[in-house]
Amino acid sequence: MCAETHKPSPMAIQSTSTPLYEKISLKNDGKRAVEIFILFLLVSLLTYRLVHLEDHGLEWQVALACESWFTFVWILVISTKWSPVSYKTYPHRILQRVSELPPVDVFVTTADPQLEPPIITVNTVLSLMAVDYPAHKLACYVSDDGCSLLTFYSLMEAAKFAKLWVPFCKKYNIQLRAPFRYFAGESTILSGEDCSLKFQQARDTMKDEYDKLSEKIEDASQGSVPSNFTGEFAAFSNTERKNHPTIIKIILENKGGHADELPHLIYISREKRPKHPHHYKAGAMNVLTRVSGLMTNAPLMLNVDCDMYANNPQIVLHALCLLLGTEYERYCAFVQCPQYFHDGAKDDPFGNQLVVLQEYLVRGIVGIQGPVYGGTGCFHRRKVIYGSWPEDMKTEKKILTSNGELTKEKSLNGFGSSKQFIDSAAHALQGNPDHPKDLSSSLEVACQVASCTYEYNTDWGKKIGWMYGSTTEDILTGLAIHTKGWRSLYCSPNPPAFLGCAPSGGPASMTQQKRWATGLLEVLLSKRSPIYGTLFTHLHFRQCLAYLWILIWALRSIPEFLYALLPAYCIMTNSHFLPKGQEPAIIISAAIFIIYNLYCLYEYFAIGLSIHAWWNNQRIQRITSTCAWSFGVLSVVLKLLGLSETVFEVTKKDQSTSSDSTNAELGRFTFDESPIFVPGTALLLVHLIATFTMLLGLRPQASRSSGSGVGEVICTMWVVLCFWPFFRGLFGKGKYGIPSTTIMKGAIVATIIAYLFRFTPTGW
């Protein structure tokens, strides 16, 4: 490995004697060689198929098309992984060298108190308020898109507890600052903590207070939340989740600007009306940006999902090392932290912890133009969100900019009709984040900019703020930033910056993957496609390839599903899509299968994961592609045809304090009546039908010199093994069993496919 040292900006830093971070290359020549060799084998197989194309039928043509797609995807993977890097930050240096720490606005988003219990949001907020950063430099904004009295009540009670919890954490240097994690057994005796009697008494007091808080929130969720709608709760009378006025409440305010008090805490529920689009999370983020711009107008903004608590109390300082340590501001538009989970089951049975993906592919993207925006755990420059271009950083004392050129006064209308907000935006873009000292003085205007009509005839969602047009607003917004030529950096400290809740069970995992696949395909087919960004703006070519690898997730379901059907087709029609045993080319197919799987297994072993984790991710990848990604394609097709609109589906979050897998059923795949499980059920049944057809001798005579062979049988067994959770689900009960309606639908689809197989000429 080699380390490249970056010197900090003299404008932000008092001294440049030592770097705030180091960029470390992680390239591995051995891995590169294996990747190139796999590509060579893939190209060799394609060449063989092309040469013998006329000697085979439909199955050979389908295999050629699918393998061509797999080769293209592998090229994208190689390009993405080619130059991985990591960053080592030195937070202890920044306090010695920065003249004044910049303010940071923190955004926490929640949308449904049923799927995202308020106790989870409360723990995230408490952990953020307790980070190692001057309290008068922090402001925490909570966006409640569910307009939930329960969520507001929980935050009100949490604010009372915060007055005890935050000083306790800082006095005793508590490392885990999310209470539910800190009080989870062995987590309470971390190294570095005081073991004195005084500390033990203080800790016991904190635990009692947190138990009271949890009990209050639990009781409120059962219906005991104040219902007389008086005082602070009056604003919630006669409100509906999708039909209510703007509600903004200042729960805590650090009026004196004291570093040792508590940060601001502001609750926001933007206005929603049935006939006005609200643009899901992207719309909520833009409201947070405008309201915070009026109230505190910090130059830096951190956004986290409601379940992603701050696990590293120095994370803000770590991020500042990257944001302030670059030679020029244009080198860093945002700093992305990886998404890790505190409650993931052992060996990742649902394949959604994404550890390997972040270790290799994400770090590879980091080495190109920077990591993609992941939607949570990200520090943004406000001026970048406001539409600045990298070229603007060369020009000082400007008002607003567009594509590196100064704009005319009339273009300020793109920010909306509020003069006060436009003034705050101008200050932010000039690098002078002026804001009123009294938060309440901005309430009236804040409600105005949070209305559902404020964005009409503006550039919000188009050129300014979080971009609209996709359920994956994070990828679309990050792509828009990278397209302008900005770079981004990756902050992965130890311990991890943020930890969240991993979806548990099949339905939650598939829902999340479907939403991602749908949104990514929307981005690919939009005017903001990375291909356009590379051809006509400033997106780097390899960054374009990295984005393409992400955006084609949904499209991958088509060739992968067809390829998974090929073994069953060949068995039922007594044909073959793999070279026969007597053909030398069979070595190529076998080598690809063996070397690729050993390569993937090595990646898991290299970061300390088990063979069980590797296998779980392999099979879940097949299940996800067949079920979730295929429905992502369907959703976008229906949208393009004007038959339906895509919907942002919130993933259910559960609070768990342990990843112990003593329960035998903890990692078992679960099902519900969603049609998303029909494709996987149908695919499994097709292979079972093919197996019984072969065993019962019901196949036709081979139309050519040889029919299906051992290769096709092995492939069928492999598919059945990958879909083993579905096989168990055929005979399971309760949530572990596939509903009878889903089995019936899958059986109908499988029967149709098998019927088509038997009557499809193999000599096409």
The span from the CA of 303 to the CA of 140, in Å, is: 10
**Catalytic, out of 144, 307, 392, 474:** 474
CA dist list (Å): 21 to 5, 13, 339, 523, 630: 7, 13, 21, 33, 42
CB atoms near residue 15 (< 10 Å): 11
Are 517 and 467 contacting, i.e. CB atoms less than 8 angstroms apart? no
Are 149 and 236 contacting, i.e. CB atoms less than 8 angstroms apart? yes
CB atoms near residue 642 (< 10 Å): 7
Greatest Cα-to-Cα distance within the chain, rounded to the nearest angstrom: 88
In the annotation, is 55 catalytic? no
Are 141 and 288 contacting, i.e. CB atoms less than 8 angstroms apart? yes
The span from the CA of 528 to the CA of 470, in Å, is: 11
Positive or negative, the CA dihedral 730, 731, 737, 743 is: positive
The span from the CA of 326 to the CA of 320, in Å, is: 10
Mapping DSSP onto H, E and C, the string for 329-393 reads HHHCCEEECCCEECCCCCCCCCCCCCHHHHHHHHHHHHCCCCCCCCCCCEEEEHHHHCCCCHHHH
CB atoms near residue 95 (< 10 Å): 12
CA end-to-end span of the chain, whole Å? 53
**DSSP notation for 71-127:** HHHHHHHHHHHSS-EEEEE-HHHHHHH-SSPPPEEEEEEE--TTTS-HHHHHHHHHH
Count of helix runs (H) and strand runs (E) in the chain: 26, 16
**Catalytic, out of 145, 343, 348, 392:** 145
Mapping DSSP onto H, E and C, the string for 629-667 reads HHHHHHHHHHHHCCCCCCCCCCCCCCCCCCCCCCCCCCC
B/e letters for 413-451, b = 16+ CB within 10 Å, e = fewer, are ebbbebebbbbbbbbbbebebebeeebeebbebbbbbbb
Q: In what order do the strands lie in the sheet with 21-25?
A: 3-6, 21-25, 85-89
Are 681 and 672 contacting, i.e. CB atoms less than 8 angstroms apart? no
Positive or negative, the CA dihedral 90, 96, 97, 102 is: positive
Q: Which residues are annotated as a binding site for Mn(2+)?
A: 281, 305
The span from the CA of 334 to the CA of 390, in Å, is: 12
| Token duo for residue 637 | 């097709």
The span from the CA of 501 to the CA of 566, in Å, is: 37
**DSSP notation for 15-57:** --SS-SEEEEE---HHHHHHHHHHHHHHHHHHHHHHHTGGGS-
Q: Which of 385, 342, 344 is nearest to 127 (CA)?
A: 342
Q: Which residues are annotated as a binding site?
A: 116, 145, 281, 305
Question: With 0-12 CB in 10 A as exposed, 13-18 as middle and 19+ as buried, what is 189?
Answer: exposed
Which residues on neighbouring strands pair with residue 303, listed in sequence order?
A: 107, 378
| Token duo for residue 48 | 């063989």
Backbone φ and ψ of 46, nearest 5°: -65, -40
Name residues whose C-beta falls within 8 Å of residue 352's C-beta, 6 or more positions apart in sequence.
Answer: 502, 503, 509, 512, 513, 620
Are 90 and 321 contacting, i.e. CB atoms less than 8 angstroms apart? yes
| Token duo for residue 78 | 């190689």
Strands 405-406 and 309-310, sheet pairing? unpaired
In the annotation, is 145 catalytic? yes
| Token duo for residue 665 | 């059923």
Q: Which residue's structure tokens are 């093994």?
A: 721
Residue at 477: amino acid letter:
T
Give the catalytic positions in this structure. Answer: 145, 474
